[in-house]
Structure 1
């Protein structure tokens, strides 16, 4: 019988008196692991010099930066596609089975990629880290979300912020881990990459088991002691439940799809240009003119690290604030304030106002991270908690689209700027102005969100066990 399996959803239902605060650490274990994806760029130089062993003088058969970068793009596209494809399955089988599948795919992706590195076959790297690992990313990303929302109906933003904060902070673990492992193995393999991928795959596979075996779901009739549903701050909060299949028939779903697309596309505009841009801004200051190239590169790396920190903190701060402000108001802040800051950034960079420029970028990235963490709670407000994980999975196709769109916009605008003779920080000015325009579209989409009509509600009582049907 299926119910005899340790992986079955029925085996994860918490008993009376269970402390719901034990659930966020289980979710965090998954997100801290898969958040390593944000640190993939640490492999760029080593992967580009496997044959030459010299990043500054690559051999003809060494992989190019664009070839290597495609690995990350494939992973993010598969994140969105697998989240959409497996969302209803996840709701039916429960988070334990989904988290185990995620850990096997994500950890296994590293192992396949290491084989590709050893054989110098880029297609195996794409298949391992990009395709298989990307499926692990997608399933792992959404697997804790609906569970957390069901445990914290009174603090949806806080709960999802805690988990998704882990995805933003995964790079802060993954980057130094990869760097130290490659240094350790550099004498036993080209640039130490292949054994590093094996060790990291095994570490993440084991680390994610904490989440797999400690996750619990509440009983269908459970609610926090003294909890009374309130719509005081948000008239959009539904009293019904909408299935994933019905949700995509509503204008609200597609408005939020545009909202997420715009927020992520604009954020990528900063993330992709961060290191070279800050180096240009620094070199335009009086102190920066005498800095050496290695010092500027180090400053760029430090700036990227600072942005990662604000990406992480923004996920918790803004999503928690949305519990008080309401989701629609919080997104209005993301877009309204974002438009001003994006439009201001080129002037600050042009005038070499370094401190102000750094502050502006940190706030922008905090709202980029906040957008990811707030959207599951926004979806729950609009569509109920019945299949919110599956709905969230389908919405994440906006992230996949933004990963491609944002990269194309940044590449096209910077190349055109260079072709027209612009240099230094001025090269990136068109990116910021364009992304301010993208945020205007996001603001309009957010303002158009209205409560979901009752015609889309599920008729009769709904249970989690029916989640995949």
Structure 2
């Protein structure tokens, strides 16, 4: 029996999730702080980058392992906890800048904010799935797009505040703003009543649709432990690690890198950092939708092919518009890799323990958050140029492309061994 009696509007639930993800997605605008922190406090590029790296590490750890906390305490309390952690971390970063304490900056922006980002990332997702049984991809895609688009607002706003009021004031103002937005979003989050389905849709339709997807697209139904024993899992993990490392390397130094290679001023570079959010968010929806037709393995292969060409070209491009265009293209691949991942894991391992498998795979995010930013920082300090880092990443991307070839063979091998006859576009490649 259809149950539509609820005081909550599911579209406002979706908006609440977007508010949380827009706030925590501001981490993608971190590069606008790089030069100001270096110039005002004398910290090395690698020191400034370390805070971003630590935040990404704790983001990945908390996103991967706090799922049980969210299930136990619900999306509202989890979202409020995320707001408190992220807000305190950002305001605390401002205090660290005020007193010139680097360890305090790492502990606040890196650790506290990182945990808040990870918890805020996962808090609304399962709730959205329950509110949108008829439009799950669209609903969760909106939230993930919000995370990718967080830099759109933060980049130019942070740069403006720093110009007129200083770095610490920027962290104070943004920390308070993030907290208010996240509290507003989390306060409205709530799971739907038991048995609730959208008006005009009954439970049998949902069950039939879900069964149809599972039967027709999943290569195998494996537990998380079983998935970890397959070569397929580690190929996907490595592909994700390489894709994230390439994108996050650029995100960590987008502003100073653009200024150094093209000669753009700080305001122009900050604007480019802001626009990155549009492509990060838009790429998540666009590539995830395209993967339904191209196939997930082919889509990741396209990611690597595009980035290999772009990374080889960018060090020699001084035209700021062309440079930014290639940067934006790479960032769509970065965002698309995240958006395609849950569906890809479902294709390969089924939905039996998809949440756990997804969580384990997100550890690639944390390690990539160390590898990408630190690679570029060390190279720039040693050579005074970004060029070498582009070529090193290009080699890694070639490895990623080879992984897609190996994974395709693994998929075909499994299908042949089990006598599979289905030809779903997501697993037939």
| TM-score, normalising length: structure 2 | 0.78
Closer/same/farther in 2, CA of residues 110 and 275 from structure 1, 3 Å limit:
closer
1:76 equivalent in alignment to 2:52: no
The Cα of 1:175 is off from its aligned counterpart by 2.2
Q: What residue is the counterpart of 2:278 in the other structure? A: 309
Please tell me whether the aligned partners of residues 156 and 377 of structure 1 are also in contact (alpha carbons under 8 angstroms).
no
Q: What residue is the counterpart of 2:90 in the other structure? A: 110
Q: What residue is the counterpart of 2:71 in the other structure? A: 91
Q: What residue is the counterpart of 1:211 in the other structure? A: 185
Question: Separation in 2 of the partners of 1:338 and 1:404?
Answer: 20
The Cα of 1:371 is off from its aligned counterpart by 1.3
Q: Deviations over 1:175-196 (max 9, x none)?
A: 2332333345x3xxxxx33343
Closer/same/farther in 2, CA of residues 407 and 339 from structure 1, 3 Å limit:
same
Q: What residue is the counterpart of 1:462 in the other structure? A: none
Question: Separation in 1 of the partners of 2:220 and 2:133?
Answer: 13
Q: What residue is the counterpart of 1:438 in the other structure? A: 399
The Cα of 1:233 is off from its aligned counterpart by 10
Please tell me whether the aligned partners of residues 106 and 136 of structure 1 are also in contact (alpha carbons under 8 angstroms).
yes
Gaps of 5+ in 2: 416-429
Alignment RMSD (CA, Å): 3.8
Question: Separation in 1 of the partners of 2:243 and 2:351?
Answer: 24
- Helix, strand or coil: the match of 1:63? coil
1:38 equivalent in alignment to 2:35: no
Closer/same/farther in 2, CA of residues 125 and 247 from structure 1, 3 Å limit:
same
Name which one, 1 or 2, has greater alpha-carbon Rg.
Answer: 1
Q: How does 1:63-462 map to 2 (within 5 A)?
A: 63-184=43-164, 186=165, 192-219=166-193, 221-222=195-196, 225=201, 226-227=205-206, 228-229=209-210, 231=212, 235-237=216-218, 248=228, 253-271=233-251, 293=263, 295=264, 300-322=269-291, 324-325=292-293, 329-336=295-302, 338-343=304-309, 346=312, 350=316, 359-380=325-346, 388-410=354-376, 427=388, 430-431=391-392, 433-444=394-405, 446-447=407-408, 448=410
The Cα of 1:374 is off from its aligned counterpart by 2.4
Closer/same/farther in 2, CA of residues 303 and 431 from structure 1, 3 Å limit:
farther
Closer/same/farther in 2, CA of residues 98 and 297 from structure 1, 3 Å limit:
closer
The Cα of 1:212 is off from its aligned counterpart by 1.1
The Cα of 1:358 is off from its aligned counterpart by 5.1
Closer/same/farther in 2, CA of residues 388 and 230 from structure 1, 3 Å limit:
closer
The Cα of 1:376 is off from its aligned counterpart by 2.9
Gaps of 5+ in 1: 1-12, 52-61, 187-191, 283-292, 454-469
Closer/same/farther in 2, CA of residues 79 and 147 from structure 1, 3 Å limit:
same
Question: Separation in 1 of the partners of 2:157 and 2:226?
Answer: 43
Between 250-259 and 112-121, report the one with greater CA deviation.
250-259
Structure that is richer in helix per residue: 2
Please tell me whether the aligned partners of residues 342 and 358 of structure 2 are also in contact (alpha carbons under 8 angstroms).
yes
Question: Separation in 2 of the partners of 1:354 and 1:44?
Answer: 20
Q: What residue is the counterpart of 2:426 in the other structure? A: none
| TM-score, normalising length: structure 1 | 0.72
The Cα of 1:132 is off from its aligned counterpart by 1.1
Q: What residue is the counterpart of 2:424 in the other structure? A: none
The Cα of 1:261 is off from its aligned counterpart by 1.1
Please tell me whether the aligned partners of residues 155 and 270 of structure 2 are also in contact (alpha carbons under 8 angstroms).
no
Please tell me whether the aligned partners of residues 14 and 128 of structure 2 are also in contact (alpha carbons under 8 angstroms).
yes
Q: Deviations over 1:81-109 (max 9, x none)?
A: 11222122222332222111111110111
Closer/same/farther in 2, CA of residues 232 and 255 from structure 1, 3 Å limit:
same
Paired residue total:
405
Please tell me whether the aligned partners of residues 60 and 366 of structure 2 are also in contact (alpha carbons under 8 angstroms).
yes
Q: Deviations over 1:317-336 (max 9, x none)?
A: 222444x437xx13422323
The Cα of 1:31 is off from its aligned counterpart by 0.5
Question: Separation in 2 of the partners of 1:354 and 1:110?
Answer: 31
Question: Separation in 1 of the partners of 2:108 and 2:381?
Answer: 31
